[in-house]
């Protein structure tokens, strides 16, 4: 599918400049129809659970293929948080490896789940952002804290606050050399370009569907590397984490060989309809095509913002940034409102204005945002000297 055809499936783009996929992806007619199909199936068949569970399995397989994994390596979760919790609950912190090393750029959930494990014997250490360049988190920061006591290194791929993209391949090499697992949080990147989890070498990964995967809230995925799955028995569990949920056993726990052992309750069926339609749509465009378009728009926006003299917090190197570019504002909530008044939907975290791109965006969108920022430049921090 060509990009202009892809774009035409998102009605909001006729009325708005939508640069907020880092928060919520735009709604396509495909996802809209899929959600209606779920409602119709409920109206007409009452309780077609077999069909609904089958839909979840189709989603599992489709997502697995999209990241280069096997379906048996994927758990379908209600959120990324649920996936992280399921893994954390399976770990034993009583041995010599009880440390979890988290970087300064993690999404709160990733820190909070591990901090909660401190009651179970874990200790959380921090890899700190550079003191001279607070929006960069070099591998050296991890090098300084990962050691033979480290069990887990959770790491966000792209930071939700400043758009910084971490060197995950480097982090995997460093962590594996020292015997620690790497747990990738890919939520701020999945859907915005290709990924091959096996080539990347991460041990675990979570992501969810409501951002660049262009679906609804309430559904996400946990990937667990094949060789690791059977080492873990989560204590956060439930009937959908069994070999056959419909065996209805209350006398013992069994563990499927696949990553579905990390699941717990009834799957989020309506959201699975939405997510499958969105993944099918993305497949029709192709992740390589999506990634190239996103990179092109990000480069255009970042360099125009620099040229306009704004303080761009996201790294300038193309391999150190993803689909999100953050520009420092003097009052970002007010700036978001001003942009909304100009028909532009963006978001902020603190005083960072978040503008993010998907393959449905165009160069005209970039130029519209830059034009609006120039018009509202009283609300923007100016760059001093050379950045990035
Ligand atoms: C990087 C990242 N990780 C995790 C989450 C939270 O995911 P969930 O609400 O599905 O637990 C978000 C949501 O914004 C995120 O941006």
CA distance 368 to 343: 10
Beta-carbon contacts of 324 under 8 Å, excluding residues fewer than 6 positions away, are: 22, 158, 160, 163, 188, 314, 354, 355, 356
Is the CB of 323 inside a 6 Å radius of any atom of ligand 1?
A: no
Candidates 344, 356, 300, 309; CA nearest to 328 is: 309
Pocket test for ligand 1, best of 155, 163, 165, 187 (most atoms within 8 A of CB): 187
Do the Cβ atoms of 178 and 269 come closer than 8 Å?
no
Do the Cβ atoms of 219 and 78 come closer than 8 Å?
yes
What local confidence, expressed as pLDDT, does residue 388 receive? 45
204 Cα: distance to centroid of ligand 1 (angstroms)? 15
* 355: helix, strand or coil: strand
Do the Cβ atoms of 306 and 373 come closer than 8 Å?
no
46 Cα: distance to centroid of ligand 1 (angstroms)? 33
Q: Which residues pair with 382 in a beta bridge?
A: 310
187 Cα: distance to centroid of ligand 1 (angstroms)? 6
* Helix, strand, coil tally for the chain in percent (to 5): 45, 15, 40
Pocket test for ligand 1, best of 188, 190, 206 (most atoms within 8 A of CB): 188
Neighbouring CB atoms inside 10 A of 121's CB total: 12
Is the CB of 79 inside a 6 Å radius of any atom of ligand 1?
A: yes
What local confidence, expressed as pLDDT, does residue 295 receive? 98
pTM: 0.97
Do the Cβ atoms of 328 and 313 come closer than 8 Å?
yes
Is the CB of 237 inside a 6 Å radius of any atom of ligand 1?
A: no
Is the CB of 208 inside a 6 Å radius of any atom of ligand 1?
A: yes
What local confidence, expressed as pLDDT, does residue 385 receive? 58
33 Cα: distance to centroid of ligand 1 (angstroms)? 26
Is the CB of 351 inside a 6 Å radius of any atom of ligand 1?
A: no
Do the Cβ atoms of 269 and 50 come closer than 8 Å?
no
Is the CB of 220 inside a 6 Å radius of any atom of ligand 1?
A: yes
Candidates 9, 108, 27, 106; CA nearest to 345 is: 27
218 Cα: distance to centroid of ligand 1 (angstroms)? 11
| Residue numbers in the chain where pLDDT is lower than 50 | 386-388
Is the CB of 271 inside a 6 Å radius of any atom of ligand 1?
A: no
pLDDT tens per residue across span 63-83: 999 999 999 999 999 999 999
What local confidence, expressed as pLDDT, does residue 321 receive? 98
Is the CB of 18 inside a 6 Å radius of any atom of ligand 1?
A: no
Locate the ligand 1 atom nearest the alpha carbon of residue 156 and give its number: 1
Is the CB of 10 inside a 6 Å radius of any atom of ligand 1?
A: no
Is the CB of 80 inside a 6 Å radius of any atom of ligand 1?
A: yes
78 Cα: distance to centroid of ligand 1 (angstroms)? 11
What local confidence, expressed as pLDDT, does residue 85 receive? 98
Distances (CA, A) of 261 to 93, 95, 127, 275, 298: 20, 24, 31, 21, 39
Residue 101, φ and ψ in degrees, nearest 5: -105, 115
Locate the ligand 1 atom nearest the alpha carbon of residue 188 and give its number: 1
What local confidence, expressed as pLDDT, does residue 384 receive? 80
Is the CB of 89 inside a 6 Å radius of any atom of ligand 1?
A: no
Is the CB of 83 inside a 6 Å radius of any atom of ligand 1?
A: no
Query: Ligand 1 atom 14: the closest Cα is on which residue?
Result: 23
CA distance 98 to 338: 48
What local confidence, expressed as pLDDT, does residue 386 receive? 47
* 5: helix, strand or coil: helix
Q: Which residues pair with 345 in a beta bridge?
A: 18
Is the CB of 212 inside a 6 Å radius of any atom of ligand 1?
A: no
């Amino acid at each position: 599918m060509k990009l202009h055809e892809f774009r035409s499936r998102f009605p909001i783009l006729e009325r708005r400049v939508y640069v907020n996929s880092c928060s919520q992806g735009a709604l396509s007619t495909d996802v809209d129809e899929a959600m209606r199909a779920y409602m119709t199936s409920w109206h007409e068949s009452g309780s077609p659970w077999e069909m609904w569970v089958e839909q979840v399995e189709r989603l599992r397989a489709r997502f697995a293929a999209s990241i280069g994994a096997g379906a048996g390596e994927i758990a379908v979760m209600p959120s990324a948080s649920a996936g992280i919790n399921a893994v954390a609950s399976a770990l034993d912190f009583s041995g010599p490896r009880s440390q979890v090393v988290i970087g300064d750029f993690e999404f709160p959930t990733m820190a909070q789940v591990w901090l909660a494990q401190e009651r179970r014997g874990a200790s959380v250490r921090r890899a700190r952002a550079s003191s001279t360049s607070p929006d960069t988190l070099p591998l050296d920061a991890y090098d300084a804290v990962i050691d033979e006591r480290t069990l887990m290194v959770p790491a966000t791929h792209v930071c939700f606050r400043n758009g910084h993209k971490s060197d995950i391949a480097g982090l995997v090499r460093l962590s594996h050399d020292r015997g620690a697992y790497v747990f990738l949080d890919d939520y701020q990147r999945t859907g915005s370009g290709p990924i091959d989890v096996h080539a990347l070498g991460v041990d675990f990964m979570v992501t969810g569907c409501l951002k660049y995967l262009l679906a609804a809230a309430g559904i996400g995925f946990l990937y667990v590397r094949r060789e690791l799955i059977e080492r873990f028995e989560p204590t956060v569990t439930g009937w959908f984490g069994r070999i056959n949920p419909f065996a209805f056993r209350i006398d013992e726990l069994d563990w499927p060989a696949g990553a579905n052992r990390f699941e717990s309750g009834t799957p989020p069926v309506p959201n699975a309809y939405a997510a499958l339609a969105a993944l099918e749509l993305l497949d029709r465009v192709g992740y390589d095509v999506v990634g190239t378009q996103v990179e092109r728009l990000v480069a255009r926006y970042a360099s125009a913002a620099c040229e306009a003299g704004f303080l761009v917090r996201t790294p300038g190197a193309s391999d150190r940034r993803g689909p999100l570019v953050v520009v420092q504002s003097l009052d970002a909530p007010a700036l978001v409102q001003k942009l909304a008044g100009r028909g532009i939907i963006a978001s902020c975290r603190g005083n960072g204005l978040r503008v993010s791109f998907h393959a449905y965006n165009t160069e005209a969108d970039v130029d519209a945002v830059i034009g609006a920022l120039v018009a509202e430049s009283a609300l923007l921090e100016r760059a001093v000297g050379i950045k990035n």
